[in-house]
Every structure is written in structure tokens, then in C-alpha cells.
Amino acid sequence: MVKRYKIGIIKGDGIGPEIIDEAIKVLDALSVTMDLNIEYSEMLLGGSAIDETGVPLPKETIDGVRECDAVLFGAIGGPKWDNLPRELRPESGLLKLREVMGTFANLRPAIVYDELIDASTLKPEVIKGVDIMVVRELTGGIYFGQPREMSGERAFNTMAYTKEEVERIARVAFDIAMKRDRRVCSVDKANVLEVSQFWRDIVTDIAQSEYPEIELTHMYVDNASMQLIRNPKQFDVILTSNIFGDILSDEASMLSGSIGLLPSASIGKGVGLYEPIHGSAPDIAGQGIANPLATISSLSMLLKYALGEDEASLKIDNAIKKALEQGYRTADLSAYGAKEVCSSTEMGNVIASLVSRS
């Protein structure tokens, strides 16, 4: 039976169009073998939207997203738009889109591939086999808390969470852990922050009442940041707040040695947004050398978490591993066991060919 899905496509700026095109190529190849009928709906966001419509997030994009099953997103921004008023910059459009989509949970995997173990600055015995998922609360906490103020003599921000906000992000982390190793480490600063003690109490209650199969531990954020470097393999799923997750997910991403490999997802009450963690890299845009693997991995997450197509997701993951095993590398990884250095298009062709044969 053919399954039908509507996927929103936001290519964005810089290398965004190049890497998204390669992910679409892979999905097209996969659709044939998996009997998937994919309808694409392309929309504007960021600098490209500003150039065409004058605003970073057109109403047509907001309306279009709501009609999709999921959105695959490239990257936005660049020096061309840096001097615009803040509300008209590309990044403001992305923040507004996340708000409209209700994406309160950010998922950031950190996976170390054996073939690229030397790309990391850490010792191979420390990082071999690392496979971590950071689940970050995305719409609450100190970044959004009120009141906030800055004057000539004083500035302050408010770190605040409601019970509902903590409960819903905890359930996301626990649900993901149920499909992995069933271990969650909740990271906070409960020894000095009341809001963190509040967080810890609620997370503990949810685990005990709804997820007895989960092994839940707690760790202070300063210790967690040290342990991520000292012994990252101790972690499976890390659950944490907005500001702590912002820092820890970036730290975890460097375990792999290259941000060109790492995907992310922003999910929540409605349509999810799936994107690579790297930026728009305007300095290499149009040269055909951008690494599309993070975007292709983001497609894998889209298939798994948005569409429930676990088998299709696994086919992509296996294809990426096989391509790396066979020595295919883009320019950013050419120093690490490359047998053939590929352009963006060539790497997309390799992955599409592998998923077609799997």
C-alpha cells in the first residue's frame, strides 16, 4: 500500500539549497523502494524570503507549514542581511516559525562514526561508540522568561518554567529513551536554583508514575559538562532546560569532530522542523563542496519521528555508515580516511544509490 505524505521544503540561504537538494534526491530514491508517495511544498524563509517579499517569514510560509506532515529545512542568514533591524533579520523569521509551529522540544543527536573517530580531538577510546540524544526544552526558561530588563545600572532575566512545560518535555525524552537504551539523565542546577529543583521534582514524578522502565538519573550541569568530555559513553538521553541544553548540545556535537555530520529536530504540538545544526556557510555557497550528510541525517529523523517510517529511517542511517566505510568523504572530512573526495552532488548520489539497493 502506497503511503502519502506532504513534506514542506525550506531551502533557505547560503548552502541551504545545495544540501536540501541532495536530501530530496535521497528521499526520492527511498520513495521508490518503500512505496512512499511524497508531495513537496517549497516555501520561503530567511534572507531569500526578505529578498522576494520584504519579510523573513511570509504568511504564505506559515499557512503552508500547517498543511504539511513535516518540514525539511536547510539554513538561513548571511552578511547580506546582518545590518537589517533585528525584527527583519533572517533569524527572527526562524524563531517566529518555531513559535508558530509550537516546537517546544529540540532533539540533537551526537553520534561518533568509527570511520571518522580521528576527526575528534578526544582520544578514540573515550569516544568510540558514542551515541547520545540531547533533548532540550526550546520555548521556555531564561531565554523567554519575564520580567527582563537592561538599564544603565542593572540588568536581569528570569528563568521560569510551568509544571506543564516540564512535564511535556520530560515525556518527549522518556518516549525517545524507550526506543533506545531506556536511560535518561536529567541535567539541572537544583543545588542553587529553585526552578531547577522544581524541574527535578516533576521529572522524577513523571518517571515514577508513567515510565517505570526508564532508569532516571540526575546531574548538575557543571558536572554534566565535564562528564561529556571525560566519559561521554555513560549517557544515552540527556534531558535539560533551554539554556543548559543550548550549551550542552553544542558541546556534545563536537564529540563527532564535525558539525557537517549532525542533524537536529524541533518538535512539539504540531508540525516538526528538521534541520542540520550547521549554518548557511555563505563563504562556500555555490562551490558544490558543502557536506550534505547532516541534512540527509535530518531527513532520517523526519522519517522516524514525524512519519513513523522507522525502516526508511534506518535505511538512510545504514547508507551513511556504508558510504563512510567505503571511504567517500566531502572536502571537510578529506583528511580522515578518504578514498574518494566527493562534491555535494556526488555524495548525494552515493547515498541515494545505497538506499536504492538496500
Q: Mean pLDDT across the stretch 200-205?
A: 98
Mean pLDDT for the stretch of residues 94-119: 92
Percentage above 70 pLDDT, the chain: 100
d(CA 225, CA 316): 31
Out of 131, 205, 250, 317, which one is annotated catalytic? 250
DSSP state of 226: H
Instruction: Scan for cell 531527513, then name that residue.
Output: 299
pLDDT given at position 2: 83
Instruction: Please tell me which residue in 82, 118, 201, 222 is annotated as part of the active site.
Output: 222
Mean pLDDT along residues 79-85: 94
**pLDDT at residue 311 in the model:** 96
Give the active site residue among 5, 11, 161, 189.
189
Give me the mean pLDDT over the 245-253 stretch: 92
Q: Of residues 246, 317, 321, 322, which has the active-site annotation?
A: 246
Does residue 189 have an active-site annotation? Answer: yes
Rounded to an integer, what distance in angstroms lies between the CA atom of residue 253 and that of residue 239? 15
- Please, which pLDDT band fits residue 48 given cuts at 50, 70 and 90? very high
Options 3, 131, 143, 181, the catalytic residue: 143
Q: Residues 99-111: pLDDT tens digits?
A: 889 899 999 999 9
284-307 tens-digit pLDDT: 999 999 999 999 999 999 999 999
How confident is residue 95, by pLDDT bands cut at 50, 70 and 90? confident
Domains of the chain plus CATH, in order, are: 1-115+257-358 (3.40.718.10), 121-256 (3.40.718.10)
Residue 112 is predicted with a pLDDT of 94
Instruction: Indicate if 250 belongs to the active site.
Output: yes
E strand residue ranges, the chain: 3-12, 36-43, 70-75, 105-111, 131-137, 149-150, 155-156, 183-188, 215-220, 237-240, 263-267, 273-276, 328-330, 340-342
76-81 mean pLDDT = 95
Active site residue 246: yes
CA distance 19 to 274: 13
pLDDT of residue 260: 83
> Are residues 70 and 7 in contact, defined by beta-carbon separation less than 8 angstroms?
yes
What's the confidence (pLDDT) of residue 270? 86
Q: Tell me, what's the pLDDT at 304?
A: 95
Tally DSSP H helices, then E strands, for the chain. 12, 14
Q: How many CB atoms are closer than 10 A to CB 222? A: 12
> How would you class 141 by CB atoms within 10 Å of its CB: exposed for 0-12, middle for 13-18, buried for 19 or more?
buried
What pLDDT is recorded for position 100? 87
**pLDDT band, very low/low/confident/very high, at 358 (cuts 50, 70, 90):** confident
The predicted model gives 207-212 an average pLDDT of 98
